[in-house]
Amino acid sequence: MKIWKEGNLRIGIKDSQEIQAMREGGKILGIILHELEQMVVPGITLLELDKKAAEMMANHHVKPSFLGYYGFPNVLCINVNDVVVHGIPDKTELHEGDIVTIDCGVIHKDFQTDSAIQKGVGKITPELTKFLNTAQKALDKAIETAKPGIRIRTISGVIQDIVEKNGYSVVRDLVGHGIGHKMHEDPPVPNFRDEAGPMLQTGMTIAIEPIICMGNRKVKTLRDGWTMVSADGSYATQVEHTIAITQKGAEILTKRPE
What region, left, alpha or beta, does residue 233 occupy, with left being phi > 0 and alpha being psi -120 to 50 degrees? left
Q: Where are the domains of the chain?
A: 2-252
Q: Are 101 and 117 in contact (CB under 8 A)?
A: yes
Q: Quick one: what percent of the chain has pLDDT higher than 70? A: 100
**Crossing angle of the two packed helices 152-165 and 126-145, in degrees rounded to 10:** 160
Tell me the pLDDT tens digit for each residue of 49-74. 999 999 999 999 999 999 999 999 99
Tell me the pLDDT tens digit for each residue of 108-131. 999 999 999 999 999 999 999 999
CA distance 5 to 9: 6
**Could you tell me the pLDDT band of residue 3, with boundaries at 50, 70 and 90?**
confident
Q: Quick one: what percent of the chain has pLDDT higher than 90? A: 94
Looking at residue 258, its pLDDT comes to 80
Task: Give CA separation, 2 vs 10, 100, 198, 201, 231, in Å.
Answer: 10, 38, 16, 12, 41
| pLDDT for residue 213 is more than 80 | yes
Tell me the pLDDT tens digit for each residue of 81-101. 999 999 999 999 999 999 999
Average pLDDT over residues 220-232: 98
Question: Which of helix, strand or coil describes residue 188?
Answer: strand
CA distance 38 to 188: 32
**Could you tell me the pLDDT band of residue 7, with boundaries at 50, 70 and 90?**
confident
| pLDDT for residue 231 is more than 90 | yes
Q: Are 175 and 190 in contact (CB under 8 A)?
A: yes
Please give the DSSP secondary-structure letter assigned to residue 69: G
**Could you tell me the pLDDT band of residue 18, with boundaries at 50, 70 and 90?**
very high
Tell me the pLDDT tens digit for each residue of 133-150. 999 999 999 999 999 999
Q: Are 212 and 143 in contact (CB under 8 A)?
A: no
Q: Are 176 and 191 in contact (CB under 8 A)?
A: yes
Write down the CATH number for the domain with range 2-252: 3.90.230.10
Looking at residue 9, its pLDDT comes to 87
Looking at residue 2, its pLDDT comes to 87
Average pLDDT over residues 26-30: 98
Look over the chain and give the mean of its residue pLDDT values, rounded to a whole number: 97
Q: Is the pTM of this model over 0.95?
A: yes
| pLDDT for residue 161 is more than 80 | yes
Smallest Cα–Cα separation from 187: which of 146, 134, 127? 146
Looking at residue 4, its pLDDT comes to 74
46: CB partners within 8 A, 6+ apart: 76, 78, 80, 87, 89, 90, 91, 92, 94
Looking at residue 178, its pLDDT comes to 97
Looking at residue 6, its pLDDT comes to 80
| pLDDT for residue 196 is more than 80 | no
Rg value, the chain, Cα: 17
Question: Which of helix, strand or coil describes residue 160?
Answer: helix
More confident residue, 4 or 54: 54
CA distance 174 to 193: 13
| pLDDT for residue 14 is more than 90 | yes
Question: Which of helix, strand or coil describes residue 228?
Answer: strand
